[in-house]
Amino acid sequence: MGQSSGVRRIPTLARKAVFMKILLTGKDGQVGFALHKRLAFLGEVIATDRNELNLESSDAIRRFFEKIKPDIIINAAAYSDVDKAESEPELAHKINTEAPMVLAEKASKFNIPIIHFSTDYVFDGLKNEPYLETDQPNPQSLYGQTKCKGEEAVRQYKKHIILRTSWVFGSHGQNFLKTILKLIQKKTSLNMVSDQKGTPTSVDLLADVTYTIVKTILNKASFEDFGIYHVALGGETNWYQYACFITDEVIRLGLKTTMASKDIKSISTDEYLTAAKRPMNSRLNTTKIKKTFMLEFPSWEMEVAAILKIALINN
């Protein structure tokens, strides 16, 4: 999507014969859905959902792993309902902390890599600059705490890649972009928080970056660049500006709406109460991953516009 990206797109003709077995969790989630399609170019993808692999059971994870014996693990599953996690701490802990711990345990036993997805919510959001991978986590929500502990568990094993990202969107599943798209066709006005900063990040970018990492690991026997990486599109915005951009863009593309961006009101976080505390700053510094894997990322505006165009065509 744009010539500035160093990871777009993998042509169908690039498909190769199966030569590795990839265990992918969370195939029905936003990220997992995109990964399932993209990783098929690298081998046999054993993609699982909650019915095929019960991540609430450590024993079930161990039995499944022993049965399929994968060459790499990609954990895209998560308990991601940030507010609901506050009232379901045990379930969030099982999926976000215990499941990654068991997956990393099996990866260690079989000496295979594990790629684990994490979040900006591991930070408190008080830093004035984009967060570096080396910044100290300080989660302020139950969701963030369970994801942080999941990271700690995965980091105990050397051959890990942890990909932190933020404000994820795509054409599949639930996300802010799709919610706004529905609301501006029903409502005549909206209130949007304008004091939380971040960068919308597409699942397509996450899938392409993961593809690049997996391919690099496969092709480089001496690969040693394991660790934590931040992944986000270029630029930054806030929820208010993001909603206005979506509204203006779909109107430009010809969608009939019941409101315009001038009908969106900017409000503060204090005026929008939620069960879980949100980071005021969700910006992530992506210098490390760009340098390590020689990547360039497009702007968030380019990716959002592309997804909206596809969404309107499909409608």
Active site residues: 143
Place of tokens 């994968």: 70
Residue type at 59 in one-letter notation? D
Residue type at 255 in one-letter notation? L
Going by C-alpha positions, the residue among 281, 195, 178, 159 that lies closest to residue 232 is 281
Query: To which H or E segment does residue 22 belong?
Result: strand 21-25
Lookup: tokens for 252: 């430009």
Going by C-alpha positions, the residue among 78, 159, 77 that lies closest to residue 111 is 159
Query: What distances in angstroms separate CA 106 from CA 2, 39, 63, 270, one per listed residue?
Result: 39, 21, 10, 44
With H, G, I as helix, E, B as strand and everything else as coil, classify residue 72: strand
CA–CA separation, 71 vs 114, rounded Å? 9
Place of tokens 């976080």: 269
Beta strands in 159-217 (DSSP E): 160-165, 168-169, 190-193, 197-198, 201-202
